[in-house]
């Protein structure tokens, strides 16, 4: 109070013009302040509080609860060729092809072709705001298709992605899958059955395929795949459990492809040949609520047998005997040369990271030890090159691996996928 | 204040030698500023001049900046770099085309554009996109991928049921909804929940293509396929790229409109700065003695200049900042009109609320302060060269002012020579002709303003010579003229401001008035039908067949439009193509500017036989004249036709070619358009009402569910007139304000010299002249001066009017208007000038009238 009255006294003691000047200066100052404040406030005028983040639900939302979708349950028999096609009642589905190839000079070259289907809403949900009277709307679809392709050799790793919405029933759209004659496509990328029609009644639709993709102007591939063995169903006749609480998926594979074709990588064309593996899997809730991601292996062993193994990280322990360290869920399949499949339960195999690499700003295990004591297998698996990060909308690691025995001798090759890092 | 007292001590501890210097500077500054205490009128004049100048300038700039922000967002929405595809056979694109091209590996993305009506009657643009296939950068990278979108921009946000309706914050504000709500359309459909997206242009709703197809009832049909730039050239044979130039961006189209506004703003700034210049000159002249005293007391010249510069900055800030605020207020008032006319003229959506980038503030401040600096530089220069010993001499001696007059006359002549040069020799190609036009006008105005004092001085001199006889009355008149000559240097800037404002007012009023006459005539000639009907495309033929049988309808005038390219020697350019029924009902009144051999009937006959008419815009842009051949791209190869005539096409920003509607159907596969219905003369009102009623319902025979849209001629007329009025509302507001500024300049100028005037008049009073006579003389002097200025402004105004209709409009919009002259406006301008001068003189005169004899006597003791 005292101070203020002093100021006032000083102010009133000033001659009139000084008072006017002072007042004018104050006014200019205040206006300047207001203006600069307005300036500061302006850019944020339009900003709105960030929308609440949807709950994560594990890697790519695969752990979200699945009301309204069909649940994968054991006991259902796989039917072909119908099950080669899409299962819109389930939320997630994929056609997953990886190929360990070698070029004319014997240098290893990896190829990936993957088509994912994701339902944006349960099939019974209303499709749009309303159906216009008498008009079909080909754009209305709850299905999202996502295709990934990769070609990698040495330091080179070219990745591409294509997205599309689903097509209406009875109309061929830019993306989709047809069970017979088999075809899966997004834009000009396609995986097509080439079984001659004369054989179509006896041979499986997936036994002969042609796959092609154009990643960019300088990278593309076209391969023909010939199955040298039968389809194999994982887990309980195709039901593959993915968590201790019984969550799981339908899962079968064709691991016996002989691949031939042409790959152009960054402008250089190679004749290639090698082995390929196709996975078919669909479910509505692949991961348990607490699972973060998985590490998955498909191996072509030197003796002609095949080995599939995966580790789902977290959520395996029941609530009663929660043990933090052993919370991973492991499973696998050993497939003999003639296609006999031996399921490997959580206790029958172990998968241990040996060394990590720094990839795309993350730490990822790129050297593993896979033990199946009951089958006398003790394998060391190492990425051919740690630089195999898939820079897609849902990023993950996918690359070729070498397999070695305990003595260090090569025991085969395969593919490793690591998600949720 | 307490700390302020302590500061000298603080300073003295740091730099003892600075203290006396600082103290001196402070005292000197206070002494300098004390001038404004004695002459508050001058301070007011300075501040008002700055205030007005910066208000008008920043107001116009705020409008421009807001509009440009809207265009930038519109362009960012769909990058003009995206190519568009069309079918070679001209058929509409659909889902099947999208699928075919995607499967062929082409990264195309479909787009649906349209308008919906909400249940409260509000109409909004709807843009339906396919977020998954849209090329990167097409609609802002983060909207596509969802990376770092603060608005919850999820890549699937649009797609994931229930989807999203994205809209600009301005649009949301006009809708009265909050984010997340779902407005209902007039058709009863619910929009997906609203989500704010600040990157979108105002007035546009962005939804997923599936929602857009439902809302706009499109089924599988789409409007266009977008293609990422740089996609390999090869396209499937059935498709081709739509020429990229087709989509002229709103920024390009409206450039001329904004240049017009900027020119008006610049004029207002100049007029405002004239006031400032006058006030500063006065303040310096009256402080010359003070400055000399300060110099004599030991204040260094450099310090004095620095102090005056400080004074300038203080005054500048105090005048400019409130000026910018006032400018914002002004822009807020004018923007809705500007937005509406931009929308109507160029279909460019502009938000009706201000949205200003940072550089607007910096720019407005810099321009006004820069203007102040140019006005103040002279003052600083003269201070720096101040001669201490030249005691008592008024700075502007008679010889000085003579010299200055001669210099001004020289400059004026130079400016006029340049202006005429610009008119006679067109600017080198590459310079936009609009800029050249404005430069010409600016030079002419500047030349006239500079010449004004010279001309006025010469006129006074001439009048003085003409006066013969030695009666007391002539003596008084001669004194009045001589006195006016003395006042002239002081009043010249205000008179210049008046001249500029009057000339602009006359020129713009003439242009707008002439345009209105021409435009309304043209509307009447073009709108010959009573009703305009747009049937749903699928039912077009059934409607036509039905209407042809109706007895109420005398003539059916079909009209279709499409787009094509004009193939010229130096490349292709997009043009609009319209097809009309060349029926006598229409052709009798349809205006033509030029035809071959000036034969209207022959021109129409050759149109029926396959010739083309082109609009004035196209004729000016391409140089095509009646008799020339033009070639258009058509789905079945090049189409060549003779130009039969040129027609005026006011309000259309694009070049247009007119053919018969039959040819448009045969050669260009034009989609069904609208029909003009000329009613049978003498139709009973009840029959007409029944027909109208009938025309708003679907045609039962066609099985079509949609009703046609019906507009009557009166509402087309009304709409066009509204657009017209809104377009020129801003122009008129600005010229009015400029005139107000000139009045203010005159007023403050007179106020500032009021005291001096008293000293001049006191001797006359002492010689026995009555106050009434003195007052009469003063008012007559000013009124006469203003009248003379206004008389000079008349030819300048007409010249400006001519420049606007014959040069600026042609360059800006592509149409030339006949020169209309409005003598009533001249009389009005003359009266206005005298009124402004008398009003401005009233207060000083009133003061003189009321001054007690003692004060008048004191004038003698003072000098």
Q: pLDDT, tens digit, for every residue of B809-838?
A: 787 777 787 888 888 888 988 888 888 888
What pLDDT does A132 receive?
A: 39
Residues of A with Cβ-Cβ distance to B161 under 8 angstroms: 120-121, 125-127, 142
pLDDT: which is higher, B366 or A251 = A251
**Contact, A112 vs A97, CB < 8 A?**
yes
Q: What percent of chain A has pLDDT over 90?
A: 56
Q: What are the tokens at B530?
A: 């009573």
The answer on pLDDT for A28 being more than 70 is no
**Contact, B532 vs B710, CB < 8 A?**
yes
Please give the interface size between A and B, counted as residue pairs whose CB atoms are below 8 Å apart: 144
* Domain-located, residue A2: no
Q: Does B35 touch chain A (CB under 8 A)?
A: no
Domain ends where: B694, B714, B734?
Answer: B714
What pLDDT does B702 receive?
A: 57
Please identify which residue in the block is written with the tokens 């103040």.
B376
**Contact, B222 vs B94, CB < 8 A?**
yes
* Domain-located, residue A126: no
3-class DSSP string for B115-157:
EEEECCCCEEEEEEECCCCCCCCCCCHHHHHCCCCCCCCCCCC
Q: Strand, coil or helix: what is A340?
A: coil
CA proximity to B602, closest of B556, B661, B642: B642
CA proximity to B180, closest of B200, B162, B154: B162
Q: Is there a single domain that holds both residue B548 and residue B613?
A: yes
CA A354 to chain centre: 24
* Domain-located, residue A170: yes
Considering only the beta carbons, identify the residue of B33, B155, B361 that sits closest to A393: B155
Q: Is there a single domain that holds both residue B27 and residue B115?
A: no
For helices B754-766 and B853-862, angle between their N-to-C axes, nearest 10 degrees? 100
Cis, bond preceding B162 (omega within 30 deg of 0): yes
Q: What is the domain-level CATH number for residue A315?
A: 2.40.370.10
Distances B175 to B118, B185, B196, B341, B435 between C-alpha atoms, Å: 9, 12, 12, 21, 40
Strand partners, B225: B85, B110
* Domain-located, residue A27: no
Distance CA A143, CA A119 (A): 5
Distances B11 to A46, B3, B28, B30, B470 between C-alpha atoms, Å: 47, 12, 19, 19, 70
Residues 6+ apart with CB under 8 A from B448: B412, B416, B499, B503, B792, B796
* Domain-located, residue B165: yes
The model's confidence at residue A51, banded by pLDDT at 50, 70 and 90, is: very low
For B609-741, strand residue ranges (E) read: 612-615, 629-632, 639-647, 656-660, 674-679, 709-712
Is A393 close to B191, i.e. CB distance below 8 A? no
What pLDDT does B152 receive?
A: 39
The answer on pLDDT for B239 being more than 50 is yes
What pLDDT does A55 receive?
A: 37
Range in A16-20, A149-153, A399-403, B237-241 the model is least confident about: A16-20
Q: What percent of chain B has pLDDT over 70?
A: 86
Q: What is the pLDDT of residues B528-537, one digit of tens each?
A: 888 888 887 7
Residues of A with Cβ-Cβ distance to B34 under 8 angstroms: 17
Distance CA B713, CA B676 (A): 9
Q: Does A9 touch chain B (CB under 8 A)?
A: no
Residues 6+ apart with CB under 8 A from A331: A235, A240, A241, A242, A309, A310, A343, A344, A345, A346, A349
Is A21 close to B198, i.e. CB distance below 8 A? no
Best mutation target, A25, A32, A139, to test chain B (most B CBs within 10 A): A139
DSSP state of B707: P
CA proximity to B219, closest of B72, B112, B73, B367: B112
Parent domain of A296: 80-121+140-418
DSSP state of B246: G
The model's confidence at residue A45, banded by pLDDT at 50, 70 and 90, is: very low
By CB neighbour count within 10 A (0-12 exposed, 13-18 middle, 19+ buried), where does B698 fall? middle
Cis, bond preceding A181 (omega within 30 deg of 0): yes
Nearest chain B CA: its distance from A208 CA (Å): 22
The answer on pLDDT for B245 being more than 50 is no
By CB neighbour count within 10 A (0-12 exposed, 13-18 middle, 19+ buried), where does B860 fall? exposed
Range in B457-471, B665-679, B710-724 the model is least confident about: B710-724
* Domain-located, residue B698: yes
Range in A140-144, B236-240, B376-380 the model is least confident about: B376-380
Distance CA B710, CA B712 (A): 7
DSSP state of A51: P
Range in A177-191, A344-358, B516-530, B698-712 the model is least confident about: B698-712
What pLDDT does B585 receive?
A: 85
What pLDDT does B814 receive?
A: 76
Residues 6+ apart with CB under 8 A from A361: none
pLDDT: which is higher, A355 or B718 = A355
Nearest CA in chain B to A217: B232
Phi, psi of A359 (to 5 degrees): -130, 130
- Structural domain tally of chain B? 3
Max avg pLDDT among A18-22, A163-167, A170-174, B681-685: A163-167
Q: What is the pLDDT of residues B308-363, one digit of tens each?
A: 888 888 888 888 888 888 888 888 888 877 777 777 666 666 766 677 777 777 87
Q: Is there a single domain that holds both residue B573 and residue B688?
A: yes
Helix, strand, coil percentages for chain B (3-state, nearest 5): 60, 15, 25
* Domain-located, residue A134: no
What pLDDT does B779 receive?
A: 86
Is A135 close to B217, i.e. CB distance below 8 A? yes
CA proximity to B484, closest of B785, B215, B192, B766: B785
What pLDDT does A359 receive?
A: 92
The answer on pLDDT for A245 being more than 70 is yes
* Domain-located, residue B679: yes
Mean pLDDT in chain B? 80
Q: Is there a single domain that holds both residue B708 and residue B603?
A: yes
* Domain-located, residue A229: yes
Give the count of beta carbons closer than 10 Å to the beta carbon of residue B683: 15
The model's confidence at residue A15, banded by pLDDT at 50, 70 and 90, is: low
Distance CA B191, CA A4 (A): 59
What pLDDT does B251 receive?
A: 60
3-class DSSP string for B2-28:
HHHHHHHHHHHHHCCCHHHHHHHHHHH
Q: What is the pLDDT of residues A200-234, one digit of tens each?
A: 777 788 999 999 999 988 999 999 999 999 999 99
As a whole number of Å, the CA-based R_g of chain B is 34
Give the count of beta carbons closer than 10 Å to the beta carbon of residue B853: 11
Q: H or E segment at A119?
A: strand A108-119
The answer on pLDDT for A189 being more than 60 is yes
Q: Does A394 touch chain B (CB under 8 A)?
A: no
Residues 6+ apart with CB under 8 A from A306: A232, A255, A256, A277, A298, A299, A300, A333, A334, A335
The answer on pLDDT for A323 being more than 50 is no
What pLDDT does B268 receive?
A: 76
Q: Is there a single domain that holds both residue B9 and residue B143?
A: no
* Domain-located, residue B478: no
Q: Does B133 touch chain A (CB under 8 A)?
A: yes
Give the count of beta carbons closer than 10 Å to the beta carbon of residue B714: 11
**Mean pLDDT on B166-174:** 84
For helices B433-466 and B398-424, angle between their N-to-C axes, nearest 10 degrees? 140
Give the count of beta carbons closer than 10 Å to the beta carbon of residue B793: 28
Considering only the beta carbons, identify the residue of B99, B169, B198 that sits closest to A174: B99
- Structural domain tally of chain A? 1
Distance CA B371, CA B50 (A): 9
Residues of B with Cβ-Cβ distance to A141 under 8 angstroms: 210
Residue window 139-158, chain B: list those with CB within 8 Å of chain A.
145, 150-152, 155-156
Q: What are the tokens at B425?
A: 């020799």
Mean pLDDT in chain A? 83
Domain ends where: B679, B696, B714?
Answer: B714
Domain ends where: B246, B272, B293?
Answer: B246
Range in A20-29, B454-463, B508-517, B548-557 the model is least confident about: A20-29
Encode B141-179: b = buried (16+ Cβ within 10 Å), e = exposed: eebbebeebebbbbbbbbbbbbbbbbbbbbbbebbebeb
CA proximity to B745, closest of B500, B515, B558: B500
CA proximity to B746, closest of B830, B828, B837, B834: B837
Q: What is the pLDDT of residues A267-316, one digit of tens each?
A: 999 999 999 999 999 998 777 667 788 999 999 999 999 999 999 987 65
What pLDDT does A7 receive?
A: 55
Backbone region of residue B219 per phi and psi (left: phi > 0; alpha: psi in -120 to 50; beta: other values): left
**Contact, B840 vs B750, CB < 8 A?**
yes
Nearest CA in chain A to B705: A133
The model's confidence at residue A401, banded by pLDDT at 50, 70 and 90, is: very high
Nearest CA in chain B to A213: B105
Parent domain of B28: 1-33
**Contact, A116 vs A94, CB < 8 A?**
yes
The model's confidence at residue B247, banded by pLDDT at 50, 70 and 90, is: very low
ipTM: 0.81
Length of chain B: 863
Q: Strand, coil or helix: what is A167?
A: coil
Is B219 close to A135, i.e. CB distance below 8 A? yes
pLDDT: which is higher, B807 or B604 = B604
Max avg pLDDT among A21-35, B65-79, B461-475, B594-608: B594-608
Nearest CA in chain B to A121: B161
The answer on pLDDT for B525 being more than 80 is yes
Max avg pLDDT among A176-185, A224-233, B221-230: A224-233
Is B220 close to A136, i.e. CB distance below 8 A? yes
Q: What is the pLDDT of residues A76-99, one digit of tens each?
A: 889 988 999 999 889 999 999 999
Q: Does B44 touch chain A (CB under 8 A)?
A: no
The answer on pLDDT for B487 being more than 90 is no
Q: Strand, coil or helix: what is A299?
A: strand
CA B344 to chain centre: 15
Q: What is the pLDDT of residues B52-109, one digit of tens each?
A: 888 888 888 888 888 777 777 776 666 666 778 888 776 788 899 999 999 988 889 9
Q: Is there a single domain that holds both residue B7 and residue B112?
A: no
Q: What are the tokens at B310?
A: 């400080």
What pLDDT does A210 receive?
A: 96
What pLDDT does B426 receive?
A: 65
Distance CA B353, CA B349 (A): 12
Residues 6+ apart with CB under 8 A from B634: B564, B667, B668
Q: What is the pLDDT of residues B646-662, one digit of tens each?
A: 998 887 777 889 999 98
* Domain-located, residue B170: yes
Q: Is there a single domain that holds both residue B145 and residue B202?
A: yes
A183-186 vs A219-227, strand pairing mode: unpaired
The answer on pLDDT for B378 being more than 80 is no
Q: Does B173 touch chain A (CB under 8 A)?
A: no
DSSP one-letter string for B513-554: HHHHHHHHHHHHHH---SEEEE--GGGHHHHHHHHHT-TTEE
Distance CA B111, CA B401 (A): 70
* Domain-located, residue B732: no
* Domain-located, residue B628: yes
Nearest chain A CA: its distance from B753 CA (Å): 20
Distance CA A206, CA B149 (A): 42
Q: What is the pLDDT of residues B424-448, one digit of tens each?
A: 776 555 556 777 888 888 888 889 9
Distance CA A87, CA A76 (A): 14
B531-534 vs A239-241, strand pairing mode: unpaired
* Domain-located, residue B64: no
What pLDDT does A65 receive?
A: 63
For helices B40-77 and B255-286, angle between their N-to-C axes, nearest 10 degrees? 160
């Amino acid at each position: 109070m005292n101070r203020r009255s002093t100021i006032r006294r000083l102010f009133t003691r000033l001659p009139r013009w000084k008072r006017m000047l002072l007042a004018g200066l104050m006014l200019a100052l205040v206006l300047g302040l207001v203006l600069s404040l307005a300036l500061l406030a302006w850019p944020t005028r339009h900003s709105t509080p960030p929308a609440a983040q949807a709950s994560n639900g594990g890697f790519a939302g695969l752990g979200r609860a699945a009301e309204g979708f069909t649940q994968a349950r054991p006991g259902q028999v796989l039917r072909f060729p119908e099950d080669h096609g899409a299962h819109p009642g389930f939320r997630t589905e994929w056609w997953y092809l990886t190929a360990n190839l070698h070029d004319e000079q014997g240098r290893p070259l990896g190829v990936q072709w993957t088509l994912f289907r994701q339902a944006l809403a349960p099939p019974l949900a209303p499709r749009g705001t309303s159906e216009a009277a008498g008009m079909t709307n080909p754009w209305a679809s709850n299905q999202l298709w996502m295709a990934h392709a990769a070609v990698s050799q040495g330091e080179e790793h070219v990745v591409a992605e294509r997205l599309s919405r689903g097509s209406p029933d009875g109309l061929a759209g830019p993306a989709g899958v047809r069970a017979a004659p088999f075809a899966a496509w997004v834009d000009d990328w396609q995986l097509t059955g080439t079984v001659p029609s004369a054989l179509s009644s006896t041979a499986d639709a997936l036994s002969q395929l042609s796959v092609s993709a154009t990643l960019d102007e300088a990278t593309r591939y076209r391969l023909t795949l010939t199955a040298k063995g039968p389809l194999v169903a994982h887990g309980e006749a195709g039901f593959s459990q993915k968590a201790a609480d019984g969550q799981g998926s339908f899962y079968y594979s064709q691991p016996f492809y002989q691949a031939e074709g042409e790959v152009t990588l960054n402008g250089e064309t190679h004749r290639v040949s090698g082995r390929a593996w196709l996975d078919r899997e669909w479910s509505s809730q692949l991961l348990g609520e607490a699972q973060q991601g998985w590490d998955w292996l498909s191996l072509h062993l030197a003796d002609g047998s095949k080995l599939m193994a995966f580790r789902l990280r977290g959520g395996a322990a029941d609530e009663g005997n929660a043990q933090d360290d052993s919370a991973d869920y492991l499973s696998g399949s050993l497939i003999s040369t003639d296609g006999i499949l031996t399921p490997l339960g959580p206790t029958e195999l172990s998968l241990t990271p040996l060394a990590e690499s720094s990839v795309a700003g993350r730490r990822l295990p790129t050297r593993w030890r896979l033990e199946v004591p009951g089958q006398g297998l003790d394998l060391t698996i190492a990425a051919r090159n740690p630089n195999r990060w898939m820079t897609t909308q849902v990023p993950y690691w996918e690359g070729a691996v070498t397999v070695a025995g305990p003595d260090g001798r090569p025991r085969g090759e395969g593919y490793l996928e690591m998600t949720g890092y | 204040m307490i700390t302020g007292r302590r500061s000298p001590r603080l300073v003295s501890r740091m730099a003892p030698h600075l203290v006396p210097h600082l103290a001196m500077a402070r005292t000197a500054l206070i002494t300098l500023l004390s001038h404004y205490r004695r002459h508050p009128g001058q301070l007011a004049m300075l501040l008002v001049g700055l205030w007005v100048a910066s208000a008008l300038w920043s107001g116009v700039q705020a409008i421009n900046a807001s509009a440009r922000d809207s265009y930038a967002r519109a362009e960012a929405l769909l990058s003009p770099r995206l190519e568009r595809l069309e079918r070679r056979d001209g058929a509409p694109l659909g889902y099947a085309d999208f699928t075919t091209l995607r499967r062929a590996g082409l990264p195309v993305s479909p787009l649906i554009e349209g308008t919906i009506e909400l249940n409260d009657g509000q109409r909004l643009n709807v843009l339906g996109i396919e977020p998954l296939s849209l090329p990167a950068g097409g609609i802002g990278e983060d909207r596509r991928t969802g990376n770092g979108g603060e608005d919850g921009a999820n890549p699937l946000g649009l797609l994931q049921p229930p989807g999203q309706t994205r809209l600009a914050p301005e649009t949301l504000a006009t809708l009265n909804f909050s984010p997340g709500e779902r407005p209902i359309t007039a058709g009863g459909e619910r929009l997906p929940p609203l989500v704010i997206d600040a990157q979108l242009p105002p007035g546009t709703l962005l939804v997923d293509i599936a929602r857009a197809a439902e809302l706009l009832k499109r089924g599988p049909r789409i409007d266009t396929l977008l293609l990422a730039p740089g996609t390999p050239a090869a396209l499937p044979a059935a498709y081709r790229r739509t020429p990229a130039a087709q989509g002229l961006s709103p920024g390009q189209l409206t450039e001329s409109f904004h240049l017009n506004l900027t020119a008006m703003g610049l004029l207002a700034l100049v007029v405002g700065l004239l006031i400032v210049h006058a006030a500063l000159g006065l303040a310096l002249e009256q402080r010359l003695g003070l400055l000399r005293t300060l110099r004599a007391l030991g204040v260094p010249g450099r310090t004095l200049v620095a102090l005056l510069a400080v004074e300038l900055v203080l005054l500048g800030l105090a005048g400019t900042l409130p000026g910018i605020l006032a400018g914002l207020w002004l822009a807020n008032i004018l923007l809705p009109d500007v937005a509406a006319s931009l929308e109507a003229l160029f279909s460019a959506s502009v938000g009706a609320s201000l949205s200003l980038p940072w550089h607007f503030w910096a720019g407005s401040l810099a321009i006004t302060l820069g203007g102040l600096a140019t006005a103040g530089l002279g003052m600083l220069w003269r201070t720096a060269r101040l001669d201490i010993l030249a005691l008592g001499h008024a700075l502007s001696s008679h010889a000085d002012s003579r010299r200055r007059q001669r210099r001004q006359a020289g400059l004026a002549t130079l400016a006029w020579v340049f202006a005429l040069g610009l008119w006679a020799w067109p600017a080198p190609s590459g310079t936009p002709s609009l800029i050249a036009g404005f430069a010409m006008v600016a030079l002419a105005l500047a030349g006239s303003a500079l010449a004004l004092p010279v001309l006025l001085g010469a006129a006074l001199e001439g009048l003085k010579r003409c006066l013969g006889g030695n009666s007391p009355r002539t003596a008084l008149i001669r004194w009045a003229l001589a006195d006016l000559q003395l006042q002239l240097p002081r009043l010249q800037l205000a008179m210049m401001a008046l001249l500029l404002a009057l000339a602009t007012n006359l020129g713009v009023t003439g242009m707008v008035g002439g345009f209105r006459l021409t435009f309304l005539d043209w509307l009447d000639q073009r709108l010959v039908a009573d009703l305009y009907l747009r049937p749903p495309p699928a039912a077009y033929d059934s409607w036509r067949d039905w209407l042809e049988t109706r007895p109420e309808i005398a003539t059916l005038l079909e009209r279709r439009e499409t787009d094509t390219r004009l193939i010229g020697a130096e490349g292709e350019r997009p043009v609009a193509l319209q097809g009309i029924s060349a029926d006598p009902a229409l052709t009798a009144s349809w205006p033509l500017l030029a035809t071959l051999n000036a034969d209207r009937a022959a021109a129409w006959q050759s149109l029926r036989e396959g010739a083309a008419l082109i609009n004035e815009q196209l004729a000016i842009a391409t140089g095509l004249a009646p008799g020339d051949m033009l070639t258009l791209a058509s789905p079945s190869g090049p189409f060549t036709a003779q130009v039969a005539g040129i027609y005026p096409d006011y309000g259309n920003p694009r070049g247009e070619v007119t053919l018969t509607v039959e040819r448009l159907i045969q050669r260009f596969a034009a989609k069904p358009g609208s029909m003009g219905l000329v009613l049978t003369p003498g139709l009973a009102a009840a029959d007409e009402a029944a027909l109208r009623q009938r025309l708003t319902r679907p045609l039962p025979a066609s099985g079509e569910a949609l009703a046609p849209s019906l507009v009557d001629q009166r509402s087309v007329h009304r709409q066009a007139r509204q657009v017209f009025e809104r377009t020129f509302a801003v122009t008129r507001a600005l010229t009015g304000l400029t005139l107000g500024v000139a009045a203010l300049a005159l007023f403050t100028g007179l106020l500032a010299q009021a005291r001096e005037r008293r000293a001049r008049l006191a001797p006359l009073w002492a010689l026995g002249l009555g106050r009434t006579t003195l007052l009469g003389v003063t008012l007559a002097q000013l009124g006469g001066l203003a009248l003379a200025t206004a008389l000079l402004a008349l030819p300048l105004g007409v010249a400006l009017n001519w420049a606007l209709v014959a040069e600026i409009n042609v360059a800006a919009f592509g149409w030339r208007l006949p020169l209309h002259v409005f003598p009533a406006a001249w009389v009005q301008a003359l009266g206005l000038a005298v009124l402004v001068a008398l009003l401005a003189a009233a207060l000083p005169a009133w003061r003189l009238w009321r001054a007690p004899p003692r004060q008048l006597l004191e004038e003698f003791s003072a000098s």
